[in-house]
């Protein structure tokens, strides 16, 4: 699901906030971390050009010793990043932003380059870094990233039906007025205490299995195995006192009981 206009404006504002010091930050493209270190300086995220383009796919990049510039070519686009002039040329259009070479790697401003190439970039406050969604991506990168992780953390050992059910609860909450209106907002919701145990114990940050990623994709595609359920718990791990006293039981899938 694509970000709302408000979230887009919020992301832009966060990316523009001045930083007091340089710090390393993660950068993901379509939910996968790019290789190499990226950093935030004065509110701008800088990434190694080669690793960014490798993650976007379809690019060949080299260093032109005569021009003293990094030159990248795709099937239809040419990009030249020149440190001496702090310019990035894309098909003849010149963009101005800091271009540096550090330890043999050419660093460029993430937002400037990705948006010029027609992709979307958002600041993910839960990731503490930037999330890029390519123009041909089937899913919003931030949504897929966090949904696959909560599914994996809550139900990684369950059947596909059970994993989809957990993802359904998250999306049902997004649609409900009782909860935040974004996937990461629901997952990290603390209005009435932490809602999901993996957020508390840190397992939300584990890399999801391919099965959990598939489950997240199927949920985002509209597949539903648990109807309108908004709550669940595993009786083997919790007594579910509040849920049993306040919500209506709906069904059981695998190790989880689901409630409306």
Note the pLDDT tens digit of each residue in 2-21: 444 334 434 443 444 333 46
Long-range pairs, 107-112, Cβ under 8 A, ≥24: 107/39, 107/46, 107/47, 107/48, 107/49, 108/46, 108/47, 108/49, 108/52, 108/81, 109/44, 109/45, 109/46, 110/27, 110/38, 110/44, 110/45, 110/46, 110/47, 110/52, 111/15, 111/44, 111/45, 112/88
Share of the chain above pLDDT 70, in %: 92
The whole-number pLDDT of residue 21 equals 62
User: pTM score, two decimals?
Assistant: 0.80
Predicted confidence band at 240 (pLDDT cuts at 50, 70, 90)?
A: confident
The whole-number pLDDT of residue 2 equals 44
Mean of the pLDDT values across residues 191-201?
Answer: 88
- Averaged pLDDT of the chain: 90
The larger pLDDT score, comparing residue 134 to residue 17, is at 134
């Amino acid at each position: 699901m694509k970000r709302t206009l408000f979230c887009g404006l919020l992301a832009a504002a966060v990316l523009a906030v001045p930083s007091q010091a340089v710090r390393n930050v993660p950068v993901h493209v379509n939910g996968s971390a790019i290789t190499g270190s990226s950093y935030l300086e004065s509110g701008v995220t800088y990434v190694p050009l080669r690793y960014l383009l490798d993650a976007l796919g379809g690019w060949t990049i080299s260093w032109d010793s005569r021009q003293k510039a990094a030159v990248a070519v795709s099937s239809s686009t040419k990009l030249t990043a020149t440190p001496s002039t702090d310019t990035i040329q894309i098909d003849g259009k010149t963009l101005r932003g800091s271009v540096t070479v550090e330890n043999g790697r050419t660093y460029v401003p993430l937002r400037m380059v990705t948006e010029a190439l027609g992709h979307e970039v958002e600041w993910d406050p839960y990731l503490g870094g930037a999330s890029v969604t390519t123009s041909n991506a089937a899913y919003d990168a931030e949504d897929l990233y966090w949904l696959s992780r909560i599914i994996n953390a809550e139900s990684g050992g369950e059947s596909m039906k059970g994993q989809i059910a957990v993802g359904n609860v998250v999306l049902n909450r997004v649609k409900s007025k009782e909860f935040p209106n974004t996937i990461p907002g629901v997952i990290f919701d603390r209005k009435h205490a932490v809602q999901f145990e993996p957020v508390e114990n840190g397992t939300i940050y584990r890399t999801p299995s391919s099965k959990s990623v598939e489950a997240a994709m199927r949920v985002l595609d509209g597949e539903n195995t648990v109807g309108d359920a908004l709550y669940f718990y595993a009786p083997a791990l919790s007594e579910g006192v509040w849920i049993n006293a306040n919500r209506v039981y709906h069904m059981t899938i695998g190790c989880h009981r689901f409630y409306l």
